[in-house]
Amino acid sequence: MSQTTQLLFKNRVPGKTVFFKDFCANGGYQGLKTAIQTMSPLEIRDLVKAAALRGRGGAGFPTGVKWGFFPADKPGIKYLVCNCDEMEPGTYKDGVLLGADPHQLVEGMILSAFALQTQVGYIFIRYAYEKQAENLRRAIAEATQAGYLGKNILGSGFDFELHVHGSAGRYILGEETALLNGLEGIRPNPRLKPPFPAVRGLFGQPTTVNNVETIANIPHIVTGGAQWFKDLALTPDGSGTKLFGLSGHLNRTECFELPVGISLREVIETYGQGMWKNKQFKACLPGGASTPFLTREHLDVALDFASLEKIGSRFGTAGVTAFDDDTCMVAVTLNLIRFFARESCGWCTPCRDGLTMVRWILEMLESGQGTPEHLEMLKDQLKNISGKSFCALAEGAMGPVAGLLTHFEQEIVDHIKGGRCPFSK
C-alpha cells in the first residue's frame, strides 16, 4: 500500500470544518509568512515552475508555465480567479476540500496573488456548494481580521481583496473564459482566444484562472520546496499528490489524497475496497466524465498525466468512476452524452448539433433500433466533433465515445444484432 504524505487533507477531520485557530496550529499561513518576508514574487513563480505542478482542474496545464504568461510586473489592476464550478459528473474533490479546510484555499489565493501581483481575487463557486461558500466567507473574514488579507498584508505593502462569487450553475462555466463572462454578468459563452485571459481577461484586464486544488498546493510548495513536492509522486513524470474522488460500483466511494503515479489497481482494490457485490471490474472513467474509458488491461497503469496520455486517456480531475461486469457501456456513454448535450452553451455547431446527434445515435443503439449504419455514423461524429469545437466541452464529451468505440465496439454490435440491450433484465 502506497504511503501518502497528506498535504491537502492533513487537517481533514470527518464531520468537521477546520477554521483559523486550528488551521494556524497545524502550520497554516506559514507559507504566506515565508513568502512575504523572504521571497520576491518572481522567486515564488520560479519555485512553482520548478515543482512541476500541473493544473488539477482537468486540463493539466503546467501552472508555472501558465503563470509565466502573466504580466505580473505590469502596472494597473490585475485579477486572480479560482475556478470552483466543479460540475463534471464524477468530480467532487474541491467540494470535499472546502468542506474540510477552507483556509488552505484562502492562503493559496493570497500567496498566488502576491506571486502574480494581483490586487483582486474571486472564488467562483458552484451554486450547490452553499456550505462551502459559507465556509470560505468565514475564512476570508478571519484572515482579514488577522492581517493576512486587505491592505498592507503583514507589513509588506501588498494589498489584496478576496471575494466569493456564486455560479449560476452550468457546466460551461467551468471553461475559464465562459467563467469570466459569468463573473461579468453576461451570457457565459466561451471567448475567442487569443487574446488569452493573461492579456485581456476579467473586465478587460490581465487575469489568471486556476482550480481550487491547484491553488491549495501553493503554500505546501513554498514551505516544502520544489524537489520535495516532485518526490511525493511515484513516477518520474509526476509531482505532488492528487485528490482522487472514487464513485461507481465500488465498496468504498469517497475522496482520498494519494500520490500522483499510484496504480489504478491499488486505487480500485485498496482504497475502493474492490468491486461491490462480489462482481468483477469491467471499466472506469479515470479522470471524470470527459475522459476515455480504461479496462481490465489497464489496471496496472500509473495514474499520472503522461502515462494515461500514452494509452489514449487522460488524468483529468482524477474522478475515478468504476463499472462492474454487468454494466452496459453503451448505456453509460449515453448517460454521459445526455449530460454534455444538455450543458452545451449552443455557441458552435459541432457541440450544439453534434452532441445532440450523438445522443440520438446512442439512444437508437441502446433501445435496440440501431443498425450498422448508426455505428458508422457514430464513428463519423467522433471525427467530425473532436478538435472542431469552439472550446473543449465537445472535445471532452467525445472522450467516453472514443473509449466506447476503442474498447467496447463489440457491445454496440451485440445491441444491433440482438435488437435489444444484452444487459437489460
For 395-419, how does the pLDDT look when each residue is reduced to its tens digit (9 = 90+)?
Answer: 999 999 999 999 999 999 999 999 9
In degrees and rounded to multiples of 5, residue 291 shows phi and psi of -110, 145
Residue 254 resides in a domain: yes
d(CA 255, CA 351): 31
Place of cell 471532452: 396
Residue 8 resides in a domain: no
Q: Say if residue 174 is in the same domain as residue 31.
A: yes
Residues spanned by the domain of 42: 20-230
- Supply the CATH number for residue 293's domain: 3.10.20.600
Enumerate residue ranges in the chain where pLDDT < 70: 1-3
Residue 4 resides in a domain: no
Q: Say if residue 226 is in the same domain as residue 137.
A: yes
For 325-363, how does the pLDDT look when each residue is reduced to its tens digit (9 = 90+)?
Answer: 999 999 999 999 999 999 999 999 999 999 999 999 999
Q: Say if residue 46 is in the same domain as residue 163.
A: yes
Q: Is the dihedral of CA 175, 181, 187, 190 positive or negative?
A: negative
What is the tally of structural domains in the chain? 3
Residue 12 resides in a domain: no
Residue 9 resides in a domain: no
d(CA 170, CA 29): 33
Instruction: Using the CB atoms, write b or e for 403-415: b if 16+ within 10 Å.
Output: bbbebbeebbebb
Q: Say if residue 244 is in the same domain as residue 279.
A: yes
pLDDT of res. 3: 61
Q: What is the pTM of this model?
A: 0.95
Q: Say if residue 203 is in the same domain as residue 349.
A: no
Q: Say if residue 29 is in the same domain as residue 137.
A: yes
In degrees and rounded to multiples of 5, residue 275 shows phi and psi of -75, 145
Residue 316 resides in a domain: yes
- Supply the CATH number for residue 30's domain: 3.40.50.11540
Q: Say if residue 117 is in the same domain as residue 152.
A: yes
pLDDT of res. 301: 97
Residue 7 resides in a domain: no
d(CA 2, CA 247): 20
Residue 141 resides in a domain: yes
For 365-380, how does the pLDDT look when each residue is reduced to its tens digit (9 = 90+)?
Answer: 999 999 999 999 999 9
d(CA 413, CA 371): 9
pLDDT of res. 2: 59
pLDDT of res. 168: 84
Q: Say if residue 99 is in the same domain as residue 210.
A: yes
For 141-168, how does the pLDDT look when each residue is reduced to its tens digit (9 = 90+)?
Answer: 999 999 999 999 999 999 999 999 999 8
- Supply the CATH number for residue 412's domain: 1.20.1440.230
Residue finishing a domain among 215, 230, 245 = 230
Q: Say if residue 309 is in the same domain as residue 336.
A: no
Residue finishing a domain among 261, 289, 324 = 324
Residue finishing a domain among 179, 201, 230 = 230
In degrees and rounded to multiples of 5, residue 17 shows phi and psi of -110, 130
Q: Say if residue 226 is in the same domain as residue 256.
A: no
d(CA 364, CA 251): 33
Q: Say if residue 69 is in the same domain as residue 214.
A: yes
Q: Say if residue 45 is in the same domain as residue 60.
A: yes
CB atoms within 10 A of CB 194: 9
